[in-house]
Amino acid sequence: EVQLVQSGAEVKKPGESLKISCKGSGYSFTNYWIDWVRQMPGKGLEWMGIIYPGDSDTRYSPSFQGQVTISADKSISTAYLQWSSLKASDTAMYYCARREMATKTVDSWGQGTLVTVSS
Amino acid sequence: DIQMTQSPSSVSASVGDRVTITCRASQGISSWLAWYQQKPGKAPKLLIYSASSLQSGVSSRFSGSGSGTDFTLTIRGLQPEDSATYYCQQANSFPTWTFGQGTKVEIK
């Protein structure tokens, strides 16, 4: 069974750094792109970027370029989303998702990681 | 960038009703359109891909149509468990996805 398991909820202060994770299992992690999607409280879905763990090819939405860093460690089948200096506006639920290339959709989602940034 | 405009933003309907949600792309996206259902506190769930293909395991009460710029999600015989927010998503140009703003479906 394909599974994406994300790290737990985080509460941080503005200016702090953070790295959240998404561990894949049940499939060849290096052969599928992983997307990151943001959902701010009470709002819709926003595509942030994508990584191919096989070679770490990474692409960003222009809206998130320079604001976050997406990475992956294929040796432990884990993708990451990180911030160097959090803002209150980064408060959101973050989902990782496995992209199915034939249909260009998601065929498996992580459970989400809630990030709360508050002083 | 391709923009996706969904309507309505919310709809209230009775059990058994037919509900139609539309999604318009700012430029042609062929049939690269998916529909997701999201319930509170849960990850989205894929319902329809390639505009009209029903994802495995999804109720046949859901159907999708359209191509180019105009797309429709139809829920026939609305059930209480269909209460959720529905999003369209375009995937015409790799790697970028764009989601519609969502439609909240409530049961009267």
Q: Give the residue carrying structure tokens 């015409």.
A: B92
Q: Identify the pLDDT of residue A43.
A: 97
Alpha-carbon gap, residue B49 to B38, rounded angstroms: 15
Is the CB of A104 less than 8 angstroms away from the CB of B34?
A: yes
What value does the mean pLDDT take over residues B18-31?
97
Test the A interface: residue of B97, B101, B104 with most A CBs within 10 Å:
B97
Q: What is the 3-state secondary structure (H, E, C) of B20-85?
A: EEEEEECCCCCCCEEEEEECCCCCCEEEEECCCEECCCCCCCEEEEEECCEEEEEECCCCHHHCEE
Is the CB of A45 less than 8 angstroms away from the CB of B95?
A: no
Q: Identify the pLDDT of residue A103.
A: 85
Q: Is residue B98 pLDDT above 90, yes or no?
A: yes
Q: Which of A7, A81, A12, A93 is nearest to B41 (CA)?
A: A93
Average pLDDT taken over every residue of chain B? 96
Q: In chain A, which residues have their Cβ closer than 8 Å to the Cβ of B87?
A: 44-45
Q: In chain B, which residues have their Cβ closer than 8 Å to the Cβ of A112?
A: 43
pLDDT tens-digit profile, chain A (119 residues): 999 999 999 999 999 999 999 999 999 999 999 999 999 999 999 999 999 999 999 999 999 999 999 999 999 999 999 999 999 999 999 999 999 888 889 989 999 999 999 99
What is the pLDDT confidence band of residue B93, given thresholds at 50, 70 and 90?
confident
β partners of residue A113? A94
Alpha-carbon gap, residue B1 to B95, rounded angstroms: 12
**Angle at the Cα of A66 from the Cα atoms of A90 and B97, rounded to 5 degrees:** 75
Is the CB of A112 less than 8 angstroms away from the CB of B43?
A: yes
Q: Is residue B1 pLDDT above 90, yes or no?
A: no
Ramachandran region of residue B22, left (φ > 0), alpha (ψ -120 to 50) or beta? Answer: beta
CA–CA distances in Å: residue B49 to residues A61, A96, B45, B53, B88: 22, 19, 11, 5, 10
Q: Identify the pLDDT of residue B83.
A: 98
Test the B interface: residue of A106, A107, A113, A114 with most B CBs within 10 Å:
A106
Nearest C-alpha of chain B: how many angstroms from A13?
A: 23
Alpha-carbon gap, residue A80 to A21, rounded angstroms: 4
By CA distance, what is A44's nearest residue in B? B101
Neighbouring residues of A75: CB distance < 8 A, sequence distance ≥ 6: none
Test the B interface: residue of A4, A101, A103, A105 with most B CBs within 10 Å:
A105
What value does the mean pLDDT take over residues B44-72?
97
Cβ-contact A74, A61 below 8 angstroms: no
Does B64 lie at the interface with A, CB-CB under 8 angstroms? Answer: no
Amino acid type, B53: S
